[in-house]
Structure 1
Amino acid sequence: MSRAATKDNYTYLSQKPGLQLIKVGSYDMKELNTILGIPEVKSQIIDIPITANENAATVGLYAMQEADKGFDFKYDFLEMKTVVTGKFVLSDDQGNSFTAEAGDVVIINPGTTVTFHGESDGTAVYVAHRLPEPTFA
C-alpha cells in the first residue's frame, strides 16, 4: 500500500463557516480483500480527509464481516476507532488481545501492528491523525 498522500490531492471537510453533515451513503467503501491481496478477507473501508494542516486528521468508516482469515495492519499514526455495531476481535504485536463491542473505543498507537481476526463482524467509525490513505480514499 502506498502511504504517499499529499495535502493537495483531496477536498477537505473542514471548511468555514460552521456545521457540516456527512450523510450515510455519501461515500463508497473500498473492498480491503482487493487492496490487501487477501481474497478470504471480508472487509471494507473509506478514508475521508478532514484537514491538511500540520495536524492532519482523517475520519473514516470501517466494516468487517466474519471470514476464514483475518489480516495484520501496521499503524504508523494514532487512531481512535469507535465500534458502532457488532464486534472486533483484535490483538497486537505487544501481546494485547481484546474483543471490542458496540460503544467501545480502541486507541491504536503509532508503531503498532494490529491483527484483525476473522471472527470479527462489526462496523466502526475512526479518526486518524494523518492524511488519508490513498488506496482507501
Structure 2
Amino acid sequence: MSRTATKDNYTYVSQGPGLQLIKAGTTELKEVNAILGIPEVRSQIIDIPITQAEGAVTLGLYAMQKAEKGFDFKYDYLEIKTVVSGQFILSDDQGTDRMIAEAGDVVIINAGTTVTFHPECDGVATYVAHRLPEPIFA
C-alpha cells in the first residue's frame, strides 16, 4: 500500500478568498476493507485535499460499523477527529486502553501513534489531518 503523496497530484479545495461549501454526499467514500485487505472490517473513508501550502491540511470523513474484526492504523501525522454520531472505541500503542469517543467528542491523534479501531465501533467522524491526502483514501 503506497502512502506517498505529492503536492501536484490533487485539485485543492482552497482556491482563494471567500466561502466554500462541500455538500454532504458529494464525495464518494472508499471501502477501507478493500484498501487494507481485511474483508471483515466494515469502514469507509474519504480524504479531501484542502491546501498544499506549507503545513498541508486535509479534511476527511470516516465511518465505521460494527464488524467481526477491527484494525490498527499508524499515524505519521497529527490528526484531529470529531465524532459526529455513534461511537468509536480506540486504544493505542502508547498505553491508552479502550477509550470510548462519542458524538461531540474530539480525539487528538499525535504523530507516531498506532491506533487500534476496535470492532465494536459504530460511528461517523470528520477529521482534519496535518498532511497531504493519503493517495489510497483520496
* TM-score between both structures, scaled by the size of structure 1: 0.98
Residue type matched to 2:91 in 1? S
Whole-angstrom distance in 2 between the partners of 1:54 and 1:17: 17
Residue-by-residue CA offset, 1:24-79 (whole Å, 9 max, x unaligned): 11100000000000000000000000000120000000000000100000000000
The residue aligned with 2:124 is 123
- What does residue range 1-137 of structure 1 map to in structure 2 within 5 Å? 1-97=1-97, 98-137=99-138
What percent of counterpart residues are identical?
Answer: 76
Count of matched residue pairs: 137
Which residues of structure 2 form unaligned runs of 5+? Answer: none
Structure 1 moving runs of 4+ over 2 Å: none
What is the deviation of 1:5?
0.5
Q: CA RMSD, aligned part only?
A: 0.6
* TM-score of the two chains, using structure 2 as the length reference: 0.98
Secondary structure of 1:34 counterpart = helix
Q: Quote the Cα distance in structure 1 between the aligned partners of 2:85 and 2:6.
A: 32
Helix, strand or coil at the partner of 2:33: helix
Counterpart residue type for residue 16 of structure 1? G
**Structure 1 unaligned residues grouped into runs of 5+:** none
